Structure 1
Amino acid sequence: MKIQAAVATAPKTDLDIRELTLDAPRADEVTVRMVASGVCHTDAIVRDQWYPTPLPAVLGHEGSGVVEAIGSDVVDFKVGDKVVLAPASCGVCENCISGHPQYCVDFYDLNFGGSRTDGSKMFDDNGTAISSNFFGQSSFASMTNVKARNAVKVADDAPLELLGPLGCGIMTGSGAVINVLQPSPGESVAVFGTGAVGLAGMLGAVASGATTIIMVDIVPSRLEFAKELGATHVVNSKEVDAVEAIREITGGKGVNYALDTTGVPAVFSQMTKALATLGHGVLVGAAKLGTEAAFDIGTLLTSGIQISMVVEGDAVPREFIPKLISLHEKGLFPFDKLVKTYAFTDINQAFADSESGVTIKPVVLF
């Protein structure tokens, strides 16, 4: 069928909205009519070829929509179901079956390879194949084919125009805190970066009952917004030493838990030094392949800290996304306050506003 899609053609170049042909769903796929898709930093860095997904490509990986057709082997969906789309995983490797699909042994190929595992691509542009299956979905398209395993069914009255980012950015930040760090009520958390992922992590800390929640950034307006959402303290690391400020706030101890959403080497180093003895820090921010950061193994050896690298919040999407929706419905996870919507035709403006910081979490509506 003919569909509309935003095609990434070259680094630092606006996406090109084109009419493409979408093939039929394979036996294990569903065809989804997209209602909305979040715009994520990962879309931008893949467009810019930090990761070598072949271009031209249809990106997008925070999709939500309605099932329009089902493959012959699909038994857990029907036409008309509302779904939120999540990253791809094989479902059969040791990591998948042990409850860690975000560390699937085939994660890179399934999500960044630009095609199905058999090499086929679902989009065609007048005879030219366009890279597809980005994060298992390529949601910058009015219709797309998705492995049923990647889809999470939601309620018939679910606000699809809002829920797409739960499949990546919001899941990443909140999952890193709730699933990995697991702060207990009364403990302390520092979050470096006040973008969508960082603020989602902060909301996860609030929902977990942490009572000292420190947000670190260099944008005063973002820090003030973080305080409105539940941060107990904010640190402008452009004006003061972040590590010293965190230790002052915590009575010299440092924080029990910390989250770096920036992927900036200097910030990562600050996070490691801001932890209390036996603290746990998590990195979720993406950096260019080969990026290295300083780690003071001499000073930190006796601290007993843990450092984890975390993908997609180490979440099982069909379990975790409904939990986030439930928290939101009860007013305990107001991630909607991060979202600003754009028409699909304004997708390049959404990218620009995300990069400049004007918008925390852009979502394009079809």
Structure 2
Amino acid sequence: MDYPPALCKVSRFLMEFMMTKPRCLLIANFAPLSSIWDMGRGMRTALENADVSVMEYLRSDFPNEGLNRIMVKMIAEFKGPRFVLDINANENYRVQNGSLYDAYRLPRMSFITDSPLRHMAKIQAMPEHSILGLVDGDFPDILADFPCPSRCQIPFPHAGPPPAPAPLSNDQRDIPVLFVGNITSAPSQDDFLTRHGGSDTGLRKALSQAVEAARETDAPLYALCKAALPGKSPQDWLAATNDLESHLISTRRIALLNSLKHHKIVYCGVIDPSLRTALPGTMEDRGAVTFEDAADLMGRARVLINSSPSFRNGAHERVFYGLSRGASVVTEPSRFLTPAQATTLGITPLPFAADRAATAIDQAMARTDDDRHTAQAHYARTHTWTQRMETVLTCLKDQFWTTP
């Protein structure tokens, strides 16, 4: 049977398109004190191992917008499968009156590293030709109240690099307990109640109950604030949730460190000067370190404490970078992992009551070198950037690359 020339041409084009090595423009941030740069490098390595050709542009305090424009033009005009990978919806390029991505049919994947509430204006400016990667299983519920143009939302939990090839044994680890995370100024509970409840007794009571539920359960923060503020707007729920999250992070970290003042703890992070007197003087304060240096310290630690109450159905990247370096990880409770999965991975949940945190530390300290070997094997199969990028590439093939 003879096929029409036009159909033959389209078929040949599609075949050549799908046989061409995919290309990616990764736009990350040069921010050594945060994890964003290191996560970008981890994603790049995973993509290259999946036979994707990656160009990388780093945002910094020394911008080179000319280079950025050249790279964007190269990826937009490439005729094979391609995409842009950016972080926190930062790269909303436009041409004339529309999105560059939609104009060039250029797929874009944006990795939202924390709550979408922190980046909502940028997320709502995303193009249709895009994917949102969300790190917590509860976050799609937020976007139900904040419509986003992106064609796809995919689960994209935090992850880490491949396991260290020769992790130290327990006897070789010279840091008993490592705590990484900033302690910054945040609204007090009374500030939170006044800001979002005013003088309304009923609202203040409902918000107080939301704070207690956030401290004592793994309920989603946005759902708690939304329920406490019926009849308010999504913008009101957004503001309340962001303030509640900031309040929890600061107060939780202070409470945990005070409850563990009799343990030998190495602390890394920025401490707001106004809060320093609220912390125990017994911890070894290393101050701010790069995330890469913090990861090296994780490789020397018996136990890594991660306090990040933001993710009720997800996990902070420190969890996975700690696991990759062979540390036993003590972290906030989350519905992301079953208790059996957490145990196999070497993860011990922190009690909601901070004064019981020492029990979790003792459990983690009891883990053996054989436990570490089992944990790293499980981690390598399930929670590296390799597994996360497989999800992205599958979505690109199914939703964008089938019809160039």
TM-score > 0.5 by shorter chain: no
TM-score, scaled relative to structure 1? 0.31
TM-score, scaled relative to structure 2? 0.29
Say which structure is richer in strand: 1
Q: Which has the larger radius of gyration?
A: 2
Say which structure is richer in helix: 2
